Structure 1
Amino acid sequence: MNARRLLQDATGLNITEADAQRAMRERMAQLGMADSHAYLRALAGSELSALTELVVVPESWLFRDPGAFSAATDFVQRRLALHPARPLRILSLPCASGEEPYSMAMALDMAGVAPPSVRIDAIDLSQVSVRRAIAGHYTRNAFRGADLAFRERYFMEQGGGYQLCDAIRARVGVRQGNLFELDTAALAGSYDIVFCRNLLIYFDDLAAHAAAKILHTLLADDGLLFAGYAEVPALCRHGFAALRIRGAFALEKAAPDPKRLAPPLRRAQAVRSVVPAQAEPQEAFFRAARHAPAPAAAQLDDALAQAWRRADGGDFAGAAALCHTLLATDPSSADAYFILGIVSECQGQVAAAADYWRRCVYLRPGHYEALCHLALLARQSGDAQVAEAYQERAARIYARRQTQGGAE
């Protein structure tokens, strides 16, 4: 068992080998150890927790994505107006150093919502982050944006930073915890609002599937889930439906829709596709393909649905064959290229996956899911500028769908 596998088993995070080795070298240097084998033999309990801290890198700030807090506050006020005697519960997971749950607490306070009406639970895997959240002390980096009136109202300059007032801190209960270790039976349907933003993007397909099921269990049937923009497609494949709320990526529970994309594919276990890779098409082909006549919609939907079913069952070769057959008759099928990208990623062929997704967005520039995947790949490869460009495109498309109600 290596460090990467131990960290993945402990956290569910999709950690790269490079990140695991970097963290292990850093931790060994802190301990004055030189023998990696000896370190791995001792990697358990508190030492595993210490190593985990080096791969969990929280990045947040107060009132990040303010539209989400505005939408959540509106939801709370409407719910309390209908059921004033029923307290609401909000969960923030991961809560990082408390920026998100405290922002929610301040938003509720500014809206005049009394503390007993809403309970906010904040949970994070990192013990260091939890200690910081409980302390409620923030540096200047936690305050971004033009409107910082809340800082004057709720914070006091102290120790080279800003200390959050006791009244807001008292509205939030902070503790260390792991999403996969929560008592879902006891907490089923407990939360009216769940903030789980930018967590699933660090999981592999199976872990993301398991996480979505847990979130579905925790959320009340009439509750709201706030997620990161790149997580919306995965959540929509697991019992959630996106809502049109300006400035926020919000979802609600919904019955699974067979017309939606299939559940996340299982990781390939030494599976090798028998379908030869397509030759690199020329720009002229793409320009023609974007305007090529397509077969009947029902026929296309059936072929794509079959491809998803085969891929989800682990038949990656069969899924790829169906997609290539479809592309032979309809070279403009962006969805076929998208599925080929998913299949390639599951087989560990990251470069091929990126190529297929680039073809997908060339044919359909507004393909939200492909843009999200390209953004994640770019970030994993360290190309922050490209990742940001894809993220911005995806965010614009999502916002347009919210306001227009149509696909690109």
Structure 2
Amino acid sequence: MSLRQLLKDATGLVLSADTVERAVRERMLRLDLTPDARADYAPQPGTPEFAALVDLVVVPESWMFRDPAVFETAVRFVQRRLLSHPGRPVSVLSLPCAGGEEPYSMAMALAHAGIPPGLCRIEAVDLSHAAIERARLGRYTRNAFRGTDLAFREHWFRQDGDAYLIDDALRRYVGFSQGNLLEAAAPPRKGPRYDLVFCRNLLIYFDEPARMVAAAALQDLLADDGLLLSGFAEAPAFCRAGFAPQSLRDSYALQKQSVATVRRRARLAPAEPAIAPRPVAAAARTAPQPAPLAAGPVAALIAEARRQADAGRLAEAHQTCQEALALQPEQAEAWFLLGMVSECGGQPHAAERHLRRCLYLQPDHYEALCSLALLHELRGDTQDAALLRQRAARVHAAEVAP
């Protein structure tokens, strides 16, 4: 079996031949091996050398408060959980956690909301041994801080030369360990499941079979009434694997299908307690926001379509979107919502048509770009999918740029 296939089997990552060869050359250089030794270089899974090679092919890049709206959603969920289960700490999983940027961001959000470590514990896991070492060190360069308002950095980090060291108070929220989600799929988790799981920007690097294995593992890790926070582009893949959006406004916030089905049958949207959550952080205000809705009757129709879709009444939501578009055919947000309703209803071709219309009217619609990229990838159009992902990345970078 080729080294490329061994890496894919071990990690789930779809790797190009160039990526593998670059990693091999770097390892050989570090080991002081000559090019003539390339034919004999064949590390096996389970060995330290194979783990070192895996560290070079994973994609560990992240930054603090990446997609800030996600952390707002997470804190609201934790607050609801503490109200509904008084005295029981909330358990959170961050996987993959890269160099700790995501779990430490969640720790900052919890601290800002007045939730102490004793009431919410974060377990952070990554495939890369090197990433876990960086996370435990808690030492970050300027690249980990993006956006216009970095007041949180001044509060929670101590500058040490060109680097920033995280405050020990945040470390008490988080525990780090190395692990592989695909390997975790085999034995069921022992003990309580996680209330809240972050698994963002992982499935985009997998092929469809690996996505289904990963989703099955997360089904087992997540409590039946828990919440999964995915990447924007990954939500449709999770929906095909047994999850459902908590709402179409927060399409990245997913629940197990069985829980969502019960709510749909009862014609109820997810309940919200009467509590006003404190804002996560001033630095988290640069999140890409949905396109502004039209005023008047069209806005009311779109809002009603969202409520219908959130309750699982997809046919009604589809009809209401059509009524909105009959009044204002150029409303991009209505086309996006229609595309998501079609995708959730198992109509990928119709979804693609509607998303393309949305992008024609609003070329920088981030969620539409992500969703359309995933549809292309599932159809095997990897080149077009890559171009759409690049466009989405440029839109996101422009939103968070200083």
Q: TM-score band, normalised by the shorter chain?
A: 0.5 to 0.7
Verify the 8 A CA contact 2:43 2:49 in the aligned structure 1. no
Partner residue of 1:186 out of 173, 176, 189: 189
1:12 corresponds to: 12
Q: Does 1:251 align with 2:251?
A: no
1:124 corresponds to: 126
Mark the runs of 5 or more structure 1 residues left unpaired by the alignment: 258-333, 340-356, 395-408
Inter-CA distance 377–102: structure 2 relative to 1 (3 Å threshold): farther
Mark the runs of 5 or more structure 2 residues left unpaired by the alignment: 262-345, 360-367, 397-402
SS at match of 1:85: coil
Please, what is the CA RMSD of the aligned residues? 3.4
Verify the 8 A CA contact 1:371 1:391 in the aligned structure 2. no
Aligned partner of 2:29: which letter?
A
1:215 corresponds to: 218
How many residue pairs get aligned? The number is: 301
SS at match of 1:224: strand
| Aligned equivalents of 2:179, 2:45: Cα separation in 1 | 20
Range 21-30 or range 241-250, more displaced:
241-250
How far is the alpha carbon of 1:372 from its aligned partner? 2.7
- Superposed, which structure 2 residues align to 1:145-160 within 5 Å? 145-160=147-162
Aligned partner of 2:100: which letter?
G
Verify the 8 A CA contact 1:375 1:390 in the aligned structure 2. no
TM-score when normalising by structure 1: 0.66
Partner residue of 2:77 out of 75, 78, 84: 75
Q: Does 1:50 align with 2:52?
A: yes
Partner residue of 2:176 out of 171, 174, 177: 174
How far is the alpha carbon of 1:361 from its aligned partner? 6.0
Partner residue of 2:245 out of 242, 245, 249: 242
Inter-CA distance 155–234: structure 2 relative to 1 (3 Å threshold): same
- Superposed, which structure 2 residues align to 1:133-148 within 5 Å? 133-148=135-150
How far is the alpha carbon of 1:29 from its aligned partner? 2.7
| Aligned equivalents of 2:388, 2:180: Cα separation in 1 | 31
| Aligned equivalents of 2:380, 2:63: Cα separation in 1 | 23
Partner residue of 2:40 out of 38, 54, 75: 38
Partner residue of 1:92 out of 91, 94, 106: 94
How far is the alpha carbon of 1:153 from its aligned partner? 1.2
Partner residue of 1:224 out of 221, 227, 230: 227
1:202 corresponds to: 205
How far is the alpha carbon of 1:33 from its aligned partner? 3.1
Verify the 8 A CA contact 1:335 1:360 in the aligned structure 2. no
Aligned partner of 2:12: which letter?
G
| Aligned equivalents of 1:43, 1:216: Cα separation in 2 | 26
SS at match of 1:220: strand
Verify the 8 A CA contact 1:372 1:390 in the aligned structure 2. no
| Aligned equivalents of 1:393, 1:189: Cα separation in 2 | 39
Inter-CA distance 386–165: structure 2 relative to 1 (3 Å threshold): same
SS at match of 2:189: helix
TM-score when normalising by structure 2: 0.67
SS at match of 1:58: coil
Verify the 8 A CA contact 1:68 1:226 in the aligned structure 2. yes
